[in-house]
């Protein structure tokens, strides 16, 4: 059975990763969504086990100690991480899985899964990004400034990804990501497990 495709989508906070993933899941129902664990408090409308596995700091540290996370990072005072077992079992079953994670975590996953597809979601501009973060109404001015400083640092790490997709319009961004996934499935190195026969051997087999 051909192994599934690991798709890692990340980018600065406020760029719209969650919204893009939600639309992708409707457009690509066969795509499995990897739910991350976090110590941050749920936002309005978020549900445990659907948006995130919400855990206390003590519970998260226990997961770290048990090596139960594929990656984890501390971001703006909270832990975020990807449960290892679910991802590995999904890939082994031949299904594609998408990880929506922060930049620090994505780079750690790349060290362990260099064959994955790493996509950086970018805002149309930093001004637009700040407006999106401010529009949440959940952060203080100091925290917004901190997130913007972190965003600039993360944008400088884009070079470590395979693709960059601008989230100017949700549907357009999702279409670009779908095209990337289709192209990755068509790559020669994902479909040929043995060397192609020489020209003469091919001609001989066609006679």
pLDDT tens digit sequence for 49-105: 888 899 999 999 999 999 999 899 888 889 989 988 889 899 999 999 999 888 988
Tally the domains of the chain: 1
**Torsion sign across C-alpha atoms 191, 194, 198, 202:** negative
CA contacts within 13 A on the Cβ side of 95: 15
| Structural domain includes residue 58 | no
| Structural domain includes residue 70 | no
How many angstroms separate the CA atoms of 171 and 24, rounded?
9
| Structural domain includes residue 163 | yes
What average pLDDT does the chain have?
Answer: 88
- Planar angle of CA 103, 5, 116, nearest 5 degrees: 40
| Structural domain includes residue 1 | no
% of the chain beyond a pLDDT of 70: 92
Find out whether 85 and 70 touch, Cβ atoms under 8 Å.
Answer: no
- pTM score, two decimals? 0.78
| Structural domain includes residue 81 | no
List the CATH number of the domain containing 138: 3.40.50.300
Residue 203: pLDDT band with limits 50, 70, 90 = low
| Structural domain includes residue 148 | yes
Please state the separation of Cα 205 from the chain's center in Å. 44
The domain in which residue 151 lies consists of 6-34+95-206
| Structural domain includes residue 111 | yes
| Structural domain includes residue 14 | yes
pLDDT of residue 12 exceeding 70: yes
């Amino acid at each position: 059975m051909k192994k599934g495709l690991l798709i890692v989508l990340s980018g600065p906070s406020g760029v719209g990763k969650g919204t893009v993933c939600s639309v992708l899941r409707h457009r690509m129902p066969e795509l499995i969504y990897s739910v991350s664990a976090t110590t941050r408090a749920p936002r309005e409308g978020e549900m445990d086990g659907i948006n995130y596995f919400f855990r206390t700091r003590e519970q998260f540290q226990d997961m770290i100690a048990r090596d139960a996370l594929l990656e984890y990072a501390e971001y703006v005072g909270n832990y975020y991480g990807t449960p290892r077992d679910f991802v590995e079992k999904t890939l082994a079953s031949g299904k594609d899985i998408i990880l929506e994670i922060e930049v620090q975590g994505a780079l750690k996953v790349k060290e362990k899964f260099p064959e994955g597809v790493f996509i950086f979601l970018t805002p149309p501009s930093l001004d637009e990004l700040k407006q999106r973060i401010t529009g949440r109404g959940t952060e203080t001015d100091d925290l917004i400034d901190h997130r913007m400083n972190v965003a600039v640092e993360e944008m400088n790490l884009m070079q470590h990804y395979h693709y960059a997709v601008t989230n100017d319009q949700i549907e357009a961004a999702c279409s670009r990501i779908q095209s990337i996934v289709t192209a990755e499935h068509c790559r020669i190195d994902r479909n040929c497990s043995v060397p192609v026969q020489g020209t003469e051997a091919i001609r001989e087999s066609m006679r």
